[in-house]
Amino acid sequence: MEKEVIFRPALFVSLDSNHSRNKLPYRLSSEGFESIQDLFKDISEVLSRQLSFVAGINNLIKRGSHDDFLVVKSKKGDVLSPSSLQKFADLDFGKKLEFIDDSWYQISKDVADNQLRNSTAHFKWDYDSVNQKVTYFPKKEGLDRLQSKEISLLDYTNKILASFRLMHRLNYLCHIINLKANNKI
């Protein structure tokens, strides 16, 4: 429970639709980015597995088979779409969303930020505790750190919350389906 303190501002700000994303005049938390850096990565890993469920249901609704994905071709005409749900499960999280067409389940592309996930997972970031900004380095540059992106601690905690909410709703949906399948509801 000690980690939940860092999420309080993001929880309340996310409820305020009039909130501007300008720099906040106050310190978000005395906790630093280091205390929650792995959370986005860990939730993303779970969500990546859960997307197979979403894709399978989506394919059943759209094309009558869980293995039939919308055909997506490269500019050269090569088929990029996975040939089965099993192949889909092996794709990177960010790539999976490309093959879930007009989904029955709304998934924000904001939660599938592979560059941020990989950067934080592989310690390719710097944290400015005074301004509460995370600078991350999404490109494979060897020892160099030339191309960077920046995200505020508040925006990072918002991404974690959005990811958690999506993961939790999918867990709950799977639980209800399981109860129904076993005639417990």
What local confidence, expressed as pLDDT, does residue 156 receive? 93
More confident position, 167 or 112: 167
Residue with tokens 């994905």: 69
What local confidence, expressed as pLDDT, does residue 110 receive? 82
More confident position, 83 or 15: 83
More confident position, 76 or 22: 76
What local confidence, expressed as pLDDT, does residue 4 receive? 72
Q: Is the pLDDT confidence value at 27 over 80?
A: no
Q: What's the pLDDT band for 126 if we cut at 50, 70, 90?
A: very high
* Mean pLDDT score of the chain: 88
Q: Is the pLDDT confidence value at 9 over 80?
A: no
| Residue pair 160/36 in contact by the 8 Å Cβ criterion | yes
pTM of structure: 0.83
Give percent of the chain above pLDDT 90: 64
Q: What's the pLDDT band for 143 if we cut at 50, 70, 90?
A: confident
Strand pairing class (133-136; 125-128): antiparallel
Q: What's the pLDDT band for 8 if we cut at 50, 70, 90?
A: confident
Query: Which residues fall within 8 angstroms of residue 10, CB to CB, at 6 or more apart?
Result: 28, 154, 157, 158, 160, 161
Instruction: State the Cα–Cα distance between residues 90 and 86, nearest whole angstrom.
Output: 7
More confident position, 145 or 72: 72
Instruction: State the Cα–Cα distance between residues 51 and 35, nearest whole angstrom.
Output: 27
What local confidence, expressed as pLDDT, does residue 117 receive? 93
